[in-house]
Amino acid sequence: MAEFFSRWKTGLSRTSKAAFGRLAGLLGATEITSETWDDLEALLIQADLGLETTQAVLEALKAAVKRDGLTRASDLQSVLKLELRSRLASPPPAAFFAVKPAVILLVGVNGSGKTTTAAKLGQRFLQAGKTILFGAADTFRAAAVDQLQVWGDRLKVEVISGAPESDPGAVAYSAVMAGVARGVDIVLIDTAGRLHTRFNLMEELKKVYRVVGKALEGAPHAVWLVLDATTGQNALQQARAFKEAVQVSGVILAKLDSSARGGMAFAIQRELGLPILFAGLGEKPEDLTPFDPDAFVDGILG
């Protein structure tokens, strides 16, 4: 357990320095003044909490100050910690394992970390004793299939792919059918990065989603949105657009180890109600860990 927390601490050290880490300096042993609130507001916004969530957090803190008769700025630290923690739900257990194969669709904008996350998830599932198969439904770039194939070779997992520029829906369909035929536990489908603002690309994603459902009733059983945690508040816009296009069931926050500010995690939960399932804390397959709200809040507050 101690190792688990230290892993989060190390992983989040840059993220912490990028925003919340300045908290201790800000909240000294002085009295709480209007300046304290202004500084705190600025810090929370810089930390990517977004306006709405920032205001809600500040209001909750002010209420706590009144209720508990707090006078020192330093008292606010622990209250803030509790308040932030209360805004993150613990990820639900992976109930989808009840179906076989469970089909998971990974979606997100370009370069957010989908393919790396597919490999990381693959490794986790293998370690849990599951059999898996990858679907390489990114047919835009030849290199994309190669990238997943390299992971497939390394993890000894079959990769179903199509010809370059072939229909991504067709590849996703084949991957699900292959998963059924081989009797694997989980089919992990990697999709091409797409800008959430591009209409035709989002329509294409909807098609992939529908086609997967045609291949196997009830599929995809999960749609996980991979967000690059360093993209800040834009991650929230992305999440909103992907949620509108397909039934996103959860979020994976990748790159939390690289100077992300982390605050969007709170906004994603508050404004979109999407659970954060996993956190990416590095580039290696073992650098994916179930999202732990306590470790996360501890880690970002430094």
For ligand GTP, which stretch binds (CB under 6 A), given 2-10, 76-84, 252-260, 290-298?
A: 252-260
Whether the Cβ atoms of residue 282 and residue 11 lie closer than 8 Å to each other: yes
Question: Least distance (Å) from ligand GTP to the CB of residue 61?
Answer: 31
> Which of the ranges 22-30, 243-251, 277-285, 291-299 carries the binding residues for ligand GTP, by CB under 6 A?
277-285
Q: Is 249 in the site for ligand GTP (CB under 6 A)?
A: no
Pick from 69, 78, 107: nearest CA to 251: 107
Task: Give yes or no for residue 115 binding Mg ion (CB under 5 A).
Answer: yes
**From 53-61, 87-95, 173-181, 255-263, span contacting ligand GTP (CB under 6 A):** 255-263
129's CB contacts (< 8 A; 6+ apart) are none
Least distance in angstroms from the C-beta of 240 to Mg ion: 22
Q: Rule CB under 5 A: say whether 117 interacts with Mg ion.
A: no
Residue 115 in the binding site for ligand GTP (CB under 6 A): yes
Binding to ligand GTP by CB under 6 A, coded x per residue (else -) over 2-41, reads: ----------------------------------------
Among 257, 277, 278, 301, binds ligand GTP (CB under 6 A): 257
Closest residue to ligand GTP, based on beta-carbon distance: 193
In the bound state with ligand GTP, the residue whose beta carbon lies nearer, of 16 and 115, is 115
| Number of residues forming the site for Mg ion (CB under 5 A) | 2
* C-alpha to C-alpha distance for 203 and 195, rounded to whole angstroms: 11
Nearer to ligand GTP, 177 or 201 (CB): 201
Per rule CB under 6 A, is residue 164 in the interface with ligand GTP? no
Task: Tell me how far apart the alpha carbons of residues 199 and 71 are, in angstroms, rounded to a whole number.
Answer: 52
In whole angstroms, the minimum distance from the beta carbon of 192 to Mg ion comes to 7
Q: Which does 111 bind (CB under 5 to 8 A by kind): Mg ion, ligand GTP, none?
A: ligand GTP
Closest CA to 174 of 103, 113, 117: 103
What residues line the site for ligand GTP (CB under 6 A)? 108, 110-116, 138, 144, 193, 254-255, 257-258, 280-283, 287
What residues line the site for Mg ion (CB under 5 A)? 114-115
